[in-house]
Amino acid sequence: MKKVFERPKSLTDVPFSYCPGCTHGIAHRLVAEVIDELGIQERTIGIAPVGCSVLCYDFFDVDMQEAAHGRAPAVATGIKRVHPDSIVFSYQGDGDLASIGTAEIVHAANRGEKITVIFINNAIYGMTGGQMAPTTLPGQKTTTSPYGRDTEACGYPIRISEMLSTLDGPAYIARASLHDPQNIVKAKSAIRKAFQAQVDGLGFSLVELLSTCPTNWGMTPVESLKWLEDNMIPRYPLGEYKVIEGVK
Amino acid sequence: MGEKILMKGAEALGEAAIKAGCRFFFGYPITPQNEVPEYMSKRLPKEGGVFLQAESEVAAINMVYGAAGAGARVMTSSSSPGISLKMEGISYIAGAKLPCVIVNIVRGGPGLGGIQPAQSDYFQATKGGGHGDYRMIVLAPSSVQEMVDLMGDAFDLADLYRMPTMILGDGMLGQMMEPVEFKERKPIALPPKDWATTGKKGRGKQNIINSLFLIAEECEEHNFELKKRYNEIEKNEVKFESYNMEDADVAIIAYGTTARIVKTAIKRAESKGMKVGLIRPITLWPFPEKVIAAAAEKVKAFLTVEMSTGQMVEDVRLAVNGQKPVYFYGRTGGMVPSPEEMVAEVEKILG
Ligand SMILES: Cc1ncc(C[n+]2csc(CCOP(=O)(O)OP(=O)(O)O)c2C)c(N)n1
Ligand code: SF4
């Protein structure tokens, strides 16, 4: 019998450590499928963040470096400059990329560093137990915004994709969502374009993936998907924010 | 024999790194070490290397982490406040067992401090600075020539033991013009970097650069393995200079720029009939404690002189272990002790 569904080559057989219903697993799978399809597994080097996906060096079957919290784009820069022919990607959460690591992501993007960034926006700090993230929605309750995010005191959700697409360095920036099969297909196509842009040497690429954290949102997996669709997408519109000539 | 050329310390340092095979430099401007990145930005592209001015010292040291993990000989350079920012990255580099060279051209502190020469980052360099149970090899040259010679050692030691190595200098050394010779180095046998992330092509199995050990037993094991390496370094890599120690009554312990001034002070003390010697640690870690302990059996007293309010003196006291009195004299904040001040201290001791 022909297998129609199997593990991508670029994933190891280590079982994911994510909570049931967490979309980190889907994001991993999409990235691994794209690496397989582009035939770049043997020259890909990934960077794991600090966050729930800190152990992703055990899941992606490519060379990996684990970075300090938020520093993945700087680590990626070091690797890419040493091995310009390799394909370098970082995988980062919203605390990692949009809070502690804002300087590193902005400047890597601005330099047009030829790397690909997979940015998981789940509007919360998952690993440390559900604290407020810079991407947390106004009024959203977290363990450090127990009365709901007060924009007067804590400001507003950061829109990273929009912000970075004002720069000249990036070649491709898109936001996609993982809440239903149709959107997952679109997310994969964005990830593919992002990696292809790097393969073609076009510049910096980033895909922001709207994700769920059922555990810290205090919802079932199904409720989480619905909450993402109803609340996150209006704040974080989906689509391609930057596509320079040559991206395919 | 190579020829001697007149060079500024900071530039000689850069050239020595390139001669040692360093092709990657990541840094951020800060006085008094700007000549190092400026020199690298001029020279590295001509050598097929990469100079990159990072957005901060935090980013620079993490670029170093990435490049070192990818198998390159890589260096960064900064001065005190910038080194404080690098400490997170240095701890990760030590934890992930990556080789690299970090230069600290020390200036007065704390805080923004001043831009004049100082030795007030001794604790930070030798006692951690970053978090966790790690060590860093720390080399303290006292002339431009020695800075050049130690640069080759720094890269070799980093590669041999897979750990960060620091060159600790100060603005005086960096600005000084001295004749230097870039000597041909005998290549030493270094282990292959088969752990580097180069893409798994031809290897089959993935390489992972990491300092995370969530299971306490494994984290302890990792620390013990590092410690084993540190013990070996303490056994094999101690470097110091002994000067005029044969029949000295007072042994001055000083490193770097201060040690140069001590030599002048020793001559003046001699002309006044006092017998003074110098033990100059070249490796600040591993610290030359044995030679100091041995000297304690012969001299009447020790005088530690530093451009700080007293940091290395703690290691001297540990080495002397109460056998003889240990005195301290220091100027700080960018002030440099004069030979007269040192002689006056010796006179007080021999009183
Ligand atoms: C310097 C530093 N500060 C704080 C932490 C603690 N910490 C670990 S993960 C994390 C936030 C992770 O959130 P996010 O990036 O959104 O990823 P997620 O867990 O949601 O996937 C924090 C603050 C750390 N490890 N290092
Ligand atoms: S805490 Fe949240 S982000 Fe982390 S694995 Fe669980 S569901 Fe996923």
Per-residue pLDDT of A172-226, as tens digits, reads: 999 999 999 999 999 999 999 999 999 999 999 999 999 999 999 999 999 999 9
Count CB-CB contacts under 10 A for residue A86. 23
Quick one: pLDDT at residue A87? 98
Tell me which residues of chain B have a C-beta less than 8 Å from any C-beta of chain A.
Answer: 24, 26, 50, 52, 54-56, 58-60, 62-72, 74, 88-89, 92, 96, 197-202, 206-212
pLDDT band at A6 (very low <50, low <70, confident <90, very high): confident
B-interface mutation test, from A12, A13, A71, most B Cβ less than 10 A away = A71
| Chain B closest-CA separation from residue A191 CA (Å) | 20
- pLDDT at A5 exceeding the cut of 90: no
CA of A156 to the centre of ligand 2 (A): 23
Tell me which residues of chain A have a C-beta less than 8 Å from any C-beta of chain B.
Answer: 12, 41-45, 47-48, 54-55, 57-58, 60-68, 71, 74-83, 86, 103-104, 106-107
CA distance B283 to B290: 13
- pLDDT at A1 exceeding the cut of 70: no
The reply to whether CATH 3.40.720.10 applies to domain A24-243 is no
Quick one: pLDDT at residue A3? 74
Pull the structure tokens for residue B138: 């720390």
A-interface mutation test, from B63, B87, B100, B214, most A Cβ less than 10 A away = B63
What is the side-by-side strand order in the sheet with B250-253? Answer: B240-243, B276-281, B250-253, B301-306, B326-330
Per-residue pLDDT of B28-45, as tens digits, reads: 999 999 999 999 999 999
Over range B223-251, report the average pLDDT.
98
Cα distance between the two ends of chain B? 48
Measure CA A231 to chain center: 19
- pLDDT at B290 exceeding the cut of 90: yes
Contact A201, A190 (CB under 8 A): no
CA distance B154 to B145: 14
Per-residue pLDDT of B81-140, as tens digits, reads: 999 999 999 999 999 999 999 999 999 999 999 999 999 999 999 998 999 999 999 999
Quick one: pLDDT at residue B220? 98
- pLDDT at B275 exceeding the cut of 70: yes
- What is the chain B residue with the closest CA to A12? B206
Does the CB atom of residue A56 touch ligand 1 within 6 A? no
- pLDDT at A110 exceeding the cut of 60: yes
Quick one: pLDDT at residue B276? 98
CA distance B53 to B102: 15
Q: Give chain B's domains with CATH numbers.
A: 5-194+223-236 (3.40.50.970), 240-350 (3.40.50.920)
For residue A101, give the ligand nearest its CA.
1
Beta bridge partners of B113: none
pTM value > 0.90: yes
The ipTM value here is 0.97
Tell me if the bond preceding A49 is cis, omega within 30° of 0.
no
**Which residue's alpha carbon is nearest to atom 5 within ligand 1?**
A69
For residue A93, give the ligand nearest its CA.
1
Does the CB atom of residue A126 touch ligand 1 within 6 A? yes
Residue type for position A24: H
* Residue B224, burial from CB neighbour count under 10 angstroms (0-12, 13-18, 19+): exposed
CA angle A211, A215, A221 (to 5 degrees): 60
CA distance B350 to B304: 15
pLDDT band at A154 (very low <50, low <70, confident <90, very high): very high
**With an 8 Å Cβ cutoff, are B69 and A86 in contact?**
no
Mean pLDDT rounded to a whole number for chain A? 97
**With an 8 Å Cβ cutoff, are A42 and B200 in contact?**
yes
